[in-house]
């Protein structure tokens, strides 16, 4: 998933960036409200993390502006105070969930996953399409009830494709919404990764869960099982 992170405390910001990338997320990090607004307008995000105590443009203003301009990606607010007045203000301005600092990274990741799931229209914790079942809470995959071990990137790629099932997703879109350190070296490496993913989830080539559409991209059909 592509995450917009708006946090002014530099150590916390770089820590979160690193952790999120380690989970296969593509991250755009802003250090103040104005930069956050600029990023929010420029790129397509799956979810945003906004700290409420921001310089230049306060978090709540940023959220309100983004919402009024039609940006619908879910927003999670980080608040230092536990006060309900702040939480309610943030949620009223357009946020979807909150986390009180300090927090455990796992908690943050779980909430982000839940928000992205909800936004894609999935209210359950598990995505099941055909014989492939994704547990979004535990971040695990089962093929025909057999658990499959994937890297963080591979899991996120599969999740992205499944959340947007039946939609053609270009290579560019995939590279924009996901992250792996190898991307910096070679942007065509996505083909290699998708190949690797296919081999892991469909070693015998029976299910054909990921279609390649020449020149256009990849698609996870709602009815996989060979064409």
Partner 1 sequence: MNSLHLRLSIALTLVISVFFAITGFMLDETYRRSLETALEERLQAQASALIAAASPRTDGGIELLKEIPIPAFSSPDSGLYGQILGPNGQVAWLSPSSGGTTQIAIHSMRLGEEHWQKHTQDKTPLATYDLGVSWDFPTGDPRVYTISVGEDLRTLASRLDEFRKLLWGALLGVTFALLVVHALILRWGLKPQRRAAEDLRAIENGEKDRLEGDYPRELRALTDNLNGLLRVEREHSTRYRHSLDDLAHSLKTPLAVLRAEMENAHEIANLNELVGDQIDRLSRQIDYQLRRAAGSGRTQLMGTVAVKEIANKVIAALKKVYAEKAIEFTLDADPDAGFHGDEDDLLEVLGNVLDNACIWCRKRIRVEARSVPDSGRRRSGLKILIRDDGPGIDATVQDQLAERGASAHPEHGHGIGLAMSRDIVNLYGGKLEADTCCETGGTCVTLSFPGLD
Q: Which residues in this chain contact partner 1 in the complex, by CB under 8 A? A: 81-85, 87-88, 91-92, 95-98, 100-102, 104, 114, 118, 123, 125
Which residue, 124 or 223, is less far from partner 1 as judged by CB?
Answer: 124
From the CB of 8, what's the least distance to partner 1, in Å? 19
Antiparallel, parallel or unpaired: β 140-143 and 132-135: antiparallel
Residue 211: its H or E element? strand 211-213
For residue 219, what is the enclosing H or E element? strand 217-219
Nearer to partner 1 (CB atom), residue 22 or residue 82: 82
- Least gap, CB of 85 to partner 1 (angstroms): 5
Minimum distance between the CB of residue 92 and partner 1, rounded to whole angstroms?
7
Least gap, CB of 115 to partner 1 (angstroms): 9
Report the residue number, 110 or 201, with the smaller CB distance to partner 1.
110
Task: Indicate the residue among 13 and 117 with the shorter CB distance to partner 1.
Answer: 117
> For residues 80 and 192, which CB has a smaller minimum distance to partner 1 in the complex?
80
Pairing of strands 146-148, 211-213: unpaired
Q: Give least dist CB 144 to partner 1, A.
A: 27
Q: How far is CA 42 from CA 37, 66, 84, 135, 160, in A?
A: 9, 11, 32, 31, 20
CA dihedral 93, 97, 100, 106 (to 10 degrees): -150
Chain-centroid distance, C-alpha 133: 18
Shortest Å distance, C-beta 82 to partner 1 = 4
Indicate the residue among 61 and 97 with the shorter CB distance to partner 1: 97
Longest dimension (CA), the chain: 56
Burial class (CB in 10 A: 0-12, 13-18, 19+), 68: exposed
């Amino acid at each position: 998933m592509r995450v917009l992170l708006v946090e002014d405390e530099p150590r916390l910001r770089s820590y979160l960036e690193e952790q999120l990338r380690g989970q296969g997320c593509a991250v755009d990090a802003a250090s103040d409200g104005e930069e956050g607004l600029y990023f929010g307008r420029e790129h397509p995000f799956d979810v945003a993390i906004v700290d409420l105590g921001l310089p230049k443009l306060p978090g709540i203003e940023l959220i309100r502006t983004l919402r009024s301009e039609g940006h619908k990606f879910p927003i999670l607010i980080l608040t230092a105070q536990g006060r309900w007045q702040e939480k309610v203000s943030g949620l009223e301005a357009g946020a979807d969930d909150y986390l009180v600092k300090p927090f455990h990274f796992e908690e943050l990741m779980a909430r982000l996953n839940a928000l992205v799931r909800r936004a894609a229209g999935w209210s359950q914790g598990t995505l099941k399409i055909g014989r492939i079942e994704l547990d979004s809470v535990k971040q695990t995959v089962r093929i025909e009830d057999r658990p499959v071990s994937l890297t963080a990137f591979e899991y996120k790629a599969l999740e992205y494709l499944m959340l947007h099932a039946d939609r053609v997703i270009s290579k560019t879109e995939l590279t924009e919404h996901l992250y792996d350190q190898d991307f910096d070296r070679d942007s065509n490496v996505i083909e290699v990764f998708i190949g690797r993913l296919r081999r892991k989830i469909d070693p015998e080539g029976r299910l054909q869960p990921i279609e390649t559409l020449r020149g256009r991209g990849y698609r996870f059909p709602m009815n996989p099982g060979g064409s």
